Amino acid sequence: MIETILLDIDGVCNRFQYHVLNSLGLFYPDDSHYPIECGWDIVAAANAIAGCKRFTSTAFWNSITRKMWADIPPSPEFLPIVAWAVKAVGQGNLHFLSSPTLSPDSLAGKLEWIHRHAPPWMQRQFLIGPSKHLCANPRTLLIDDSDRNVEAFRNCGGKAVLVPRPWNSLHEHVALHYLAREFHPIFGG
């Protein structure tokens, strides 16, 4: 039985790729324009969309300001996921679990994002760090858009649901429909 749910922020709760790529002047109206062949590598995706090697990894990540992190719009799935999770485990057992970049602007911007978009009761319910698998146990569910994070979490004994996105193995699925099917046996009703 699931008692705790950990919710990734970027790419799950918000539209990180959409916002960052557009903020960097790249034409990216929606996720149907994501170059699937680039997978998780958003720097390669940015260069593919630009049509040239415009960014190195360092230059790309350094170009994302605190304001850009804070201004990312919520995803269409964010509030439905929160509603499903609260129904299943209650408000006190739902937490964000996010991995910031090495830039302090990333962490500060994510915190601002949480304060702008999360329900008030959830604004101090966050865990920060790249080693998400360390939170894995049979009573904890991770909701993430990274195949690697989901696999590592499961390998350490946790439950996990991958949110379909163009950069992961579920890119052919419609996110809300897929999540409803996945959550039904976990959450019931």
pLDDT one-digit tens code per residue, 71-125: 999 999 999 999 999 999 999 999 999 999 999 999 999 999 999 999 999 999 9
143 & 164 share domain? yes
Whether residue 153 contacts residue 133, with contact meaning beta carbons closer than 8 Å, is answered with: yes
pLDDT at 189 over 60: no
10 & 34 share domain? no
d(Cα 155, Cα 149) in Å, to the nearest integer?
10
127 & 165 share domain? yes
Would you say the pTM of this structure is higher than 0.85? Answer: yes
42 & 79 share domain? no
Of 70, 87, 105, the residue that ends a domain is 70
119 & 155 share domain? yes
pLDDT tier at 186, thresholds 50, 70, 90: confident
Q: Find the length of the chain.
A: 189
134 & 175 share domain? yes
d(Cα 120, Cα 117) in Å, to the nearest integer?
9
pLDDT of residue 184: 84
115 & 34 share domain? no
Q: Is 145 exposed, middle or buried (0-12, 13-18, 19+ CB in 10 A)?
A: buried
Q: Which domain covers residue 136, as residue numbers?
A: 4-15+72-187
76 & 62 share domain? no
When divided into structural domains, the chain yields a total of: 2
